[in-house]
Structure 1
Amino acid sequence: MPVFNVTLKENAPAAELEKAKQAYKDNGGEIKHEFTLIKGFTVEVPDDKVGVFQSNEHIHVEQDGEVRTQ
C-alpha cells in the first residue's frame, strides 16, 4: 500500500486534522506516524482509496518518498 504525508493547510480549522485521520481509518488506512512540529501525519492507504482524499480543501496530501540533499 502507498504511504502519504497528510498536513493541515495554514488557515484550516484544527478539527479538520482529526476528521482526516478518522476518514482515512474508516477507508482502510493505517496511521503510521503523527508529526509533532507540524499538524499532520503519515498514513498507509489501500491503492483503491488513494485519490479519495486529494481534493480535500483543508489538507495537503503528498506521497511519501526518499529525500536527498545531494
Structure 2
Amino acid sequence: MRLLLLALLPLALAKSVLVTFPEGTPDDVIRESKESLEKAGGTITHTFNLIKGYSAEAPDVAIQQVSPQSGPYKAAVEDDSPVSIA
C-alpha cells in the first residue's frame, strides 16, 4: 500500500503547464527540454505544430528542468488553464 501511495504522489502534485520557446529555437533544444521534463517525472500531453512548444503534466521539480538557464532559447512556462470569451 505504501509503495502505491509513493508511486502516485508525483501525479498528485503535478500541474498542467504550457511550455513555449522563441521563434527560431532549434528542434533539438525543444526535444532536450521534453526529455529532461520526462526524466524528472513529467508527462508530455501535447506537442504544438503552429508554435514552438508543448503542454505537460508535471510536478514543480520537473518543470524546473525544461529550459536552459541562459542563452537565446529560454522557455516560457505558464500554467495551463481554460480560456473563454467573456
Name the TM tier (shorter chain): 0.7 to 0.9
Structure 1 residues 31 and 51: alpha-carbon distance in aligned structure 2, compared to 1, 3 A threshold: closer
Distance 1:23 1:9 in 2: 18
Please identify the structure whose Cα radius of gyration is greater: 2
Distance 1:30 1:15 in 2: 18
Unaligned runs of 5+ in 2: 1-13
Q: Which residue of 2 aligns with 1:38?
A: 51
Q: Which residue of 2 aligns with 1:25?
A: 38
Following TM superposition, the consecutive aligned residue runs of length 4 or more in structure 1 with deviations greater than 2 angstroms are 10-14, 53-58
TM-score by length of 1: 0.79
Structure 1 residues 36 and 12: alpha-carbon distance in aligned structure 2, compared to 1, 3 A threshold: closer
Structure with a larger share of its residues in strand: 1
> Size of the alignment, in residue pairs?
69
Q: Which residue of 2 aligns with 1:4?
A: 17
Distance 2:63 2:49 in 1: 26
Distance 1:17 1:54 in 2: 9
* Identical pairs, percent: 32
Distance 1:36 1:62 in 2: 18
Please give the root-mean-square deviation of Cα atoms over the aligned residues, in Å: 2.0
Instruction: Give secondary structure in 1 for the equivalent of 2:32.
Output: helix
